[in-house]
Amino acid sequence: MDPSVHAQAAGVLYRVEHLTRYVYAAPVELAHHLAQLRPLSLEPLQQCEQHRCDIEPAPGHRSSSTDVFGNQRLFFACYAPHDTLSVRAVSLVRVHAPPPRWEHSPAWESVRERLQYRPGQAYEPASEFTFGSHFAPRFEDAASYAGADFTPGRSLLDAAHALMHRLHAEFTYDPASTEVHTRAPQALQLRHGVCQDYAHVMISALRSLGLAARYVSGYLRSCPRPGEERLVGADASHAWVAVWCLEHGWVEFDPTNDRLPAADYVRVAVGRDFADVSPLRGVIRGGGEHELQVAVNVSPAQI
């Protein structure tokens, strides 16, 4: 067998390390946290082969569950006073390049028609992602923005690719321009932002046309191969978009980097927008001001 064919079939095994550390100005007396740090197992794209999450101080309680979108969640509570919190997730994930899905992509209007409710028509689960959400609502300006690419009769995947390319060209990656609570309407007006904003704008644009789009959170390979350009979003959590396309299923687009996610993307969670996939959130009593440190490293596993 051609070695390249064998390598493609075997996929790429990555070691993913995500470290989050809080340093508090005053002791935290009580803390409840929810973490979404375990990479997804999504056939045929990727399989999470190993995962562990080390927490300091050791929590008094921890439990795992799966949310409605299929994401793995870890709940933990710390009952003893502490002035630092460290959460270190380490995973081994095997990732495969998505199969090509461009041939025979249907017209976007036919996909929209399939997602609309019709008495007696089979329920399509993807239709849940046609509705607006807090960070990625449906709104008129978003529909107008998408309309330049979604012309009558155009293939859905061709139109989505064109929208991704134009959004990348017309927006400026600027971490200082937005914050974690910025919503798609503000990001579209600013034409500045980070990967979260790029994803929210593209999702809003697609949903505003009646299409199903979801938010994908994950990582990029931190160390590019010789001669490859370093991608925006490496060494941190990254975000991109998936659009639903009938028999093609969910097809991914990364507007921040203007490319289709390949075998160097690791998926951790999917949802309606960032609010569904935040890596770590919580409620604490005490603590005062705090300093947050986050470090991510994704590299080929040496085993």
- The pTM assigned to this predicted structure is 0.91
- Which tokens in the block code for residue 283? 């409620």
CATH code of 69's domain: 2.60.40.2250
Which amino acid would we find at residue 71? N
Residue 163 placed within a domain = yes
Instruction: Kindly list the distances between the CA atom of residue 62 and the CA atoms of 15, 56, 57, 117, in Å, as whole numbers in the listed order.
Output: 24, 12, 12, 41
The reply to whether 12 and 117 lie within a common domain is: no
| Burial zone of 20 (CB within 10 Å; 0-12 exposed, 13-18 middle, 19+ buried) | buried
Residue-level pLDDT, tens digit, the chain, 303 residues:
333 333 455 789 999 999 999 999 999 999 999 999 999 999 888 999 999 999 999 999 999 999 999 999 999 999 999 999 999 999 999 999 887 766 679 999 999 999 998 888 888 999 999 999 999 999 999 999 999 999 999 999 999 999 999 999 999 999 999 999 999 999 999 999 999 999 999 999 999 999 999 999 999 986 655 555 655 545 678 999 999 998 889 999 999 999 999 999 999 999 999 999 999 999 999 999 999 999 999 988 865
Residue 269 placed within a domain = no
By C-alpha distance, which of 163, 193, 191, 262 is closest to 221? 262
The reply to whether 26 and 68 lie within a common domain is: yes
Residue 58 placed within a domain = yes
Domain of 166 in residue numbering reads as: 108-262
